[in-house]
Structure 1
Amino acid sequence: MQLIQTVVVKQILTENSKQKLFDEYHNKKLQLQKESDQLHFELKRLEKTKTFQQATLKKHFEKEIQNRKEKIKLIDFQIEQLHILPIGSELKEKEVQAIVEVKVGDSWDATNLRPTIIVKDGIIEEIR
């Protein structure tokens, strides 16, 4: 019988991976800032047309802008944490699904262990 099991993928932090993560966070932050600016622009444009209910329109746009500001705050926090982390730290990158073969007589405890894949600079270094 085959079972689907969750496998944790962790990344070992190196200078290269640290810089790559920083670049990803920075790009996400810039994208969110652009979206926020675009929403401000669209709100001003739609306010001038007066074809929509102003209160509802403004409330909707302000909510979207606030969502992006919250995401930017989270990214700023992640960038701060990234600077604090020492090289060699293990970061949980994601979880993937794997198929595990089980048969009569197998140890159930050994089957229930959550395997972990350790990746360093894009190369699998260890499977625990």
Structure 2
Amino acid sequence: MKIIKKIPVKQVLTADSKEQLSHDFQSRYQRYDRECQQLRFEQRKLEKRSDISPSEIEKRFTQEIKLRKEKMNWVEYKLQQLEILPEGSELFIEEVEAIVEVTEGARWDEIYEHQTIVIKDGIVIQAR
């Protein structure tokens, strides 16, 4: 039997990777900010011409804007962590899914123990 398991991917920080990650985080932050502005614009547009109640429109858009703001806060946190961490540190960047073979008699804790993929400058250096 095969199962799907999530495996964290960590990146070893180097000068190049810190710069790249900083650029990526700043791009994400700007994208979320633009999305918030676009949502506000769409909200005003709908409020002026819509037969939907203004409170319902505000509720929906406020919720979407709040989600973007939370993502912006998370990106800010990641940027702060990036500045604090020294080179050589491992930084969690994402999770990937892997297919794992499960057979009868296998030890569950060995199959499902915490595995990690570590990359450095775009190259996998460890799969633990």
Could you list the runs of 5+ residues in structure 2 that have no partner in the other structure?
none
State the alpha-carbon separation in 2 of the partners of residues 61 and 4 from structure 1. Answer: 35
* More divergent stretch after superposition (81-90 vs 62-71): 62-71
Give the 5 Å matches for 1:42-121: 42-93=42-93, 94-99=95-100, 108=107, 111-112=110-111, 113-121=113-121
Q: Say whether the 8 Å CA contact 1:9–1:96 is kept in structure 2.
A: no
SS at 1:52 equivalent: coil
The alignment partner of 2:87 has SS state of coil
When normalised by structure 2's length, the TM-score is 0.78
Q: CA deviation at 1:89?
A: 0.4
Q: 1:3 touches 1:102 (CA, 8 Å); kept in 2?
A: no
Q: Matched residue pairs, number?
A: 126
Please say which structure displays the higher CA radius of gyration: 1
Residues 43-78 of structure 1, C-alpha deviations (whole Å, 9 max, x = no match): 111111142111111111112112211211111111
Structure 2 vs 1, CA of residues 11 and 51 (structure 1 numbering), >3 Å: closer, same or farther? Answer: same
8 Å Cα contact 1:4-1:98 kept in structure 2: yes
Instruction: Tell me, yes or no, if the aligned pair for 2:2 and 2:99 is still in contact at 8 Å.
Output: no
Distance 1:98 1:14, change over 3 A: farther
CA root-mean-square deviation: 2.7
1:67 to 1:2, Cα distance in 2 relative to 1, 3 A: closer
Q: Equivalent pairs: percent with the same residue?
A: 33
